[in-house]
C-alpha cells in the first residue's frame, strides 16, 4: 500500500477517532448508560445471573418457540463474535497504552456492560421479524424503525454495522492471526490470509445454520485451551499475582507510573483506553450481539436478554482478566524486544533521552499523554554507515518507548547513506529494526512464553488466536449479512460475503496499528445510535421485565 496514502488515511482516522471513540465524552456515554440501567433496573446482572444459567441449560425451553438457534447456540455465536483478538491482543494493547489501570476500567465496562447488553438484546428480540427466506432477523435497526419510527437512524446503524463488520470483526482478526502465525511459526502472512479466507468462505456461505453449529462446537473448546494455557503462566508467576491486582487497583484513579521501558500513562488515558478496549472486547452497547440473539428460539425477549448477561462476564471478567494477569505477572509489558519498526509508531525527537533519568521520563510522559512538554520533533538529515546512524543529539521513540539498538537496512543489507527526518517522521524508504516495547498479540505471546510450558506457551496463543479470531470473523459476517438484508434485501448477501472474504485476506498483510485504528473508529459508529435508542426506551424496558416475571410466575408456580 502506498505510504503517502497510508499516512493520509491514518491522519483521517485519527481525526475521526478523536471525535468518537477516543473523545473524552465517549467512555462516559458508554459507562454512563450501563450505570443508569444498572441502578434503574436494580442490578439485573446480579439478580438474574443464576436464572440466566438455567435458561442456557434449557430448563425453560419450549419446543414450538420461534427461532433458528437454541439459547446456547445464540450465546455461543455472540460469544464467538466477542471472544477474539480483543481478549488476546486487545487486553495487551490496553495495558501497553494505559498500564495496569486500563484493566480496571475494562472490568467496569464489563460489569455495567452486562446490564447494557441485557437491555439491548431484550429490546432487539422483542422487535425481530422474519425475512423473505423465512429466517428470523433482528437487531437495533429494527427497534429504531419499528418502535421509535426513526428509519434514518436505523439506516445509519445498519450501514455502521456493515462497516464495523469489516473494521471490528474482520480486519483485526485476520491481521492478528497472520502476525501471530508469522512470529511463532514463521508462516508468511499472505499464506495464512489465503488459507483462512478460503475456510471462512466455506463456513459463512452456509448461512446462520452452519454458523451457529460451528460456534457451539469451537467456542467451549478454545476457551478451555486458553484457560489452562494462562494458568500455566500464572502458576510460575504466582508470587506476582497479588502485586498485579494491587497495582491495578492503586493505579485505577491515578494513572500508571513509569516502570522499565513503560513511560507511564495518565488517568484520563488509562480510563479512555480501558473503556475503549473493554467495548472492543465484550461489545456491550455496540449493538452487535442483539443481532445474534434475535435468532434464538425464545418467545420471551427478556429470557434471551438474561442469557446475554453472561457474555461480558465470560468474555471480560474471566478471559480478559486471565490475559491481563499473565501479562502483568510475567513483567513483559515493561520489557523491550527485538522489533521491526512501523512508520507511524516511530518518532524522532530532538535531544538525547533515557528512561533512567527522572526528568526525561517526566518530559516523555507529558509528551505521550498530550500534556505540556518541551519535547520537540527532530528535523534534518542523518548519516547512516553500515546500518547505524553516526551522529547523536536525537532519540527515537517506537511503540511509546525509547528505542534501543536501532538499525537501518535496504533490500536485506545494512544501509549506508543519509536519511531524512521531517517533523519527527522518517521520510526515506528504508527498513528500521531495533528494541522497543511490543503490544497486541506479540505482547501476549511473549507473556505466555514465561510459564510452565516455556516457549511452547506461545503456541497456545497462536492456536487459540486462530480459533478466537476466526470464529469472531464468522460471527461478524452474520452481523453484516443481517444489516445488508435490512438495507438491500437478501440478494445483497452473497456480494457482501465475497467482499468480506477478500477483506479478510488483504488485512493479513496490512499494518497492525492501522488496523486497530480502523476498529476503534468503526465500533463507535455503531455504539452511538444504539445507546441513544435504548436510553429512549428505558421505561418500556422496565415494563417488559415486569410482564416477564408475571407470566413466569403463572407458568412456573413452583418457582425457579
Q: Cell numbers for 504, please give them.
A: 479478510
Which range is most confident: 194-203, 328-337, 502-511?
A: 328-337
pLDDT digits (tens, 9 = 90+) for 190-207: 898 899 889 888 888 776
Q: Stretch 2-14: mean pLDDT, rounded?
A: 68
Asked whether 476 and 77 are in contact (CB, 8 A), the reply is no
Q: Is the domain of 363 the same as that of 510?
A: no
Is it the case that residue 150 has pLDDT exceeding 90? yes
**Minimum mean pLDDT among 77-81, 88-92, 115-119: which range?**
77-81
Last residue of a domain, one of 436, 469, 503: 436
Is it the case that residue 417 has pLDDT exceeding 90? yes
Q: Is the domain of 113 the same as that of 193?
A: yes
How does the average pLDDT of the chain come out, rounded?
A: 86
Portion of the chain with pLDDT greater than 70, in percent: 92
Portion of the chain with pLDDT greater than 90, in percent: 42
- What is the helix (H) or strand (E) element at residue 18, kind and residue range? helix 3-19
Domain-embedded: residue 6 = no
Residue 514: its pLDDT value, please? 63
In angstroms, what CA-CA distances link 459 with 99, 183, 189, 466, 507?
25, 10, 17, 11, 22
Q: Is the domain of 321 the same as that of 286?
A: yes
Residue 45: its pLDDT value, please? 96
In the numeric block, the cell 492503586 is attached to: 250
Is it the case that residue 342 has pLDDT exceeding 70? yes
Q: Is the domain of 30 the same as that of 70?
A: yes
Q: Stretch 9-15: mean pLDDT, rounded?
A: 74
Read off the pLDDT band of 395 (50, 70, 90).
very high
Q: Look up the CATH number of the domain holding residue 181.
A: 1.20.1740.10
Question: CA–CA separation, 116 vs 113, rounded Å?
Answer: 5
DSSP secondary-structure letter at 342?
A: P
Is it the case that residue 116 has pLDDT exceeding 80? yes
Residue 515: its pLDDT value, please? 64
Number of domains in the chain: 2
Q: Is the domain of 364 the same as that of 490?
A: no
Domain-embedded: residue 385 = yes
Domain-embedded: residue 4 = no
103-136: string of b/e by CB count within 10 Å (b at 16+)?
Answer: bbbbbbbbbbbbbbbbbbbbbbbbbbeeeeeebb
Residue 466: its pLDDT value, please? 81
Instruction: State the Cα torsion 482-485-487-492 to the nearest 10°.
Output: 120
Question: CA–CA separation, 476 vs 295, rounded Å?
Answer: 14
Q: Is the domain of 451 the same as that of 331?
A: yes
Closest among 426, 423, 437, 444 to 376, alpha carbons compared: 423
**Minimum mean pLDDT among 32-41, 128-137, 208-217, 271-280: which range?**
208-217
Q: Is the domain of 388 the same as that of 306?
A: no
Q: Is the domain of 124 the same as that of 143?
A: yes
- Could you list the residue range(s) of the whole structural domain that residue 99 is in? 11-335+446-547
Is it the case that residue 404 has pLDDT exceeding 90? yes
Is it the case that residue 511 has pLDDT exceeding 70? no
Which range is most confident: 14-23, 200-209, 428-437?
A: 428-437
User: Phi/psi at 261 (nearest 5 deg)?
Assistant: -80, -10
Residue 532: its pLDDT value, please? 94
What is the bridge-based pairing of β-strands 425-426 and 417-422?
A: antiparallel
Closest among 218, 179, 183 to 199, alpha carbons compared: 218
Q: What would the DSSP string read from start to end of 360-398?
A: HHHHHHHHHTT------B--EEEEEETTEE---SEEEEE
**Minimum mean pLDDT among 82-86, 328-332, 361-365: which range?**
82-86
Domain-embedded: residue 351 = yes
pLDDT digits (tens, 9 = 90+) for 249-303: 999 999 888 888 898 888 888 888 788 777 767 778 889 889 988 877 778 899 9
Residue 442: its pLDDT value, please? 86
Q: Is the domain of 326 the same as that of 474?
A: yes
Query: Who's near 243: CB < 8 A, 6+ residues apart?
Result: none
Last residue of a domain, one of 385, 402, 436: 436
Q: Is the domain of 184 the same as that of 306?
A: yes
Q: Stretch 184-191: mean pLDDT, rounded?
A: 84
Last residue of a domain, one of 370, 403, 436: 436
Between 399 and 509, the more confident residue is 399
Domain-embedded: residue 315 = yes
Q: Is the domain of 328 the same as that of 346?
A: no
Residue 24: its pLDDT value, please? 77
With vertex at residue 124, the alpha carbon angle to CA 121 and CA 127, rounded to the nearest 5 degrees, is 150
Q: What would the DSSP string read from start to end of 240-303?
A: GHHHHHHHHHHHTTTEE--BTTB--EEHHHHHHHHHHHHHHHH-TTTS-HHHHHTTBS-S-HHH
C-alpha dihedral sign at 185, 188, 191, 192: positive
Residue 490: its pLDDT value, please? 87
Question: CA–CA separation, 51 vs 120, rounded Å?
Answer: 18
Q: Is the domain of 404 the same as that of 461?
A: no
Is it the case that residue 104 has pLDDT exceeding 90? yes
Amino acid at each position: 500500500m502506498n505510504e503517502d496514502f497510508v499516512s493520509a488515511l491514518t491522519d483521517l482516522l485519527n481525526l475521526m477517532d478523536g471525535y468518537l471513540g477516543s473523545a473524552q465524552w465517549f467512555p462516559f456515554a458508554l459507562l454512563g448508560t450501563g450505570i443508569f440501567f444498572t441502578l434503574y433496573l436494580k442490578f439485573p446482572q446480579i439478580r438474574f445471573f443464576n436464572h440466566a444459567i438455567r435458561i442456557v441449560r434449557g430448563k425453560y425451553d419450549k419446543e414450538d418457540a420461534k427461532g433458528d438457534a437454541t439459547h446456547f447456540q445464540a450465546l455461543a455465536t455472540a460469544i464467538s463474535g466477542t471472544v477474539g483478538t480483543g481478549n488476546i491482543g486487545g487486553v495487551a494493547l490496553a495495558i501497553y497504552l494505559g498500564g495496569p489501570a486500563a484493566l480496571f476500567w475494562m472490568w467496569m465496562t464489563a460489569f455495567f456492560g452486562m446490564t447494557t447488553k441485557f437491555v439491548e438484546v431484550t429490546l432487539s428480540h422483542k422487535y425481530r421479524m422474519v425475512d423473505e427466506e423465512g429466517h428470523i432477523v433482528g437487531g437495533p435497526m429494527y427497534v429504531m424503525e419499528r418502535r421509535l419510527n426513526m428509519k434514518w437512524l436505523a439506516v445509519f446503524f445498519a450501514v455502521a454495522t456493515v462497516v464495523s463488520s469489516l473494521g471490528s470483526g474482520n480486519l483485526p482478526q485476520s491481521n492478528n492471526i497472520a502476525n501471530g502465525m508469522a512470529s511463532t511459526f514463521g508462516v508468511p502472512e499472505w499464506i495464512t490470509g489465503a488459507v483462512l479466507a478460503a475456510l471462512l468462505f466455506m463456513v459463512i456461505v452456509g448461512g446462520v445454520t452452519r454458523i451457529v453449529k460451528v460456534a457451539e462446537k469451537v467456542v467451549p473448546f478454545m476457551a478451555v485451551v486458553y484457560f489452562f494455557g494462562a494458568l500455566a503462566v500464572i502458576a510460575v508467576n504466582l508470587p506476582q499475582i497479588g502485586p498485579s491486582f494491587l497495582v491495578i487497583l492503586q493505579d485505577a484513579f491515578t494513572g500508571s507510573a513509569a516502570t522499565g521501558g513503560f513511560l507511564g500513562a495518565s488517568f484520563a488515558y488509562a480510563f479512555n483506553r480501558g473503556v475503549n478496549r473493554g467495548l472492543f472486547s465484550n461489545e456491550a452497547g455496540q449493538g452487535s450481539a442483539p443481532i445474534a440473539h434475535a435468532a434464538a428460539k425464545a418467545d420471551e425477549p427478556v429470557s434471551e436478554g438474561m442469557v446475554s448477561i453472561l457474555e461480558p462476564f465470560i468474555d471480560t471478567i474471566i478471559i480478559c482478566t486471565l490475559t491481563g494477569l499473565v501479562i502483568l505477572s510475567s513483567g513483559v509489558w515493561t520489557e523491550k524486544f527485538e522489533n521491526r519498526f512501523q512508520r507511524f509508531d516511530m518518532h524522532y525527537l530532538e535531544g538525547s533521552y533515557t528512561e533512567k533519568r527522572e526528568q526525561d521520563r517526566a518530559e516523555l510522559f507529558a509528551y505521550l499523554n498530550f500534556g505540556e512538554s518541551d519535547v520537540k520533533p527532530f528535523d534534518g538529515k542523518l548519516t547512516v554507515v553500515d546500518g547505524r546512524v553516526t551522529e547523536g543529539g536525537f532519540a527515537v521513540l517506537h511503540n511509546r518507548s525509547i528505542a534501543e539498538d536501532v538499525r537501518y537496512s535496504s533490500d536485506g543489507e545494512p544501509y549506508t547513506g543519509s536519511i531524512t527526518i521531517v517533523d519527527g517522521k522518517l521520510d526515506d524508504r528504508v527498513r528500521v529494526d531495533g528494541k522497543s516495547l511490543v503490544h497486541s498479540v506479540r505482547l501476549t505471546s511473549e507473556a505466555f512464553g514465561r510459564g510452565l510450558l516455556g516457549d511452547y506457551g506461545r503456541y497456545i496463543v497462536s492456536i487459540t488466536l486462530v480459533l478466537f479470531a476466526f470464529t469472531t470473523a464468522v460471527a461478524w459476517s452474520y452481523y453484516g449479512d443481517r444489516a445488508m438484508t435490512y438495507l438491500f434485501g437478501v440478494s445483497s448477501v452473497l456480494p457482501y460475503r465475497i467482499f468480506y472474504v477478500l477483506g479478510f485476506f488483504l488485512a493479513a498483510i496490512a499494518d497492525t496499528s492501522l488496523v486497530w485504528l480502523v476498529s476503534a473508529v468503526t465500533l463507535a459508529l455503531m455504539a452511538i445510535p444504539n445507546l441513544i435508542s435504548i436510553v429512549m426506551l428505558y421505561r418500556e424496558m422496565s415494563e417488559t421485565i415486569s410482564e416477564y416475571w408475571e407470566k413466569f410466575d403463572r407458568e412456573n408456580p413452583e418457582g425457579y
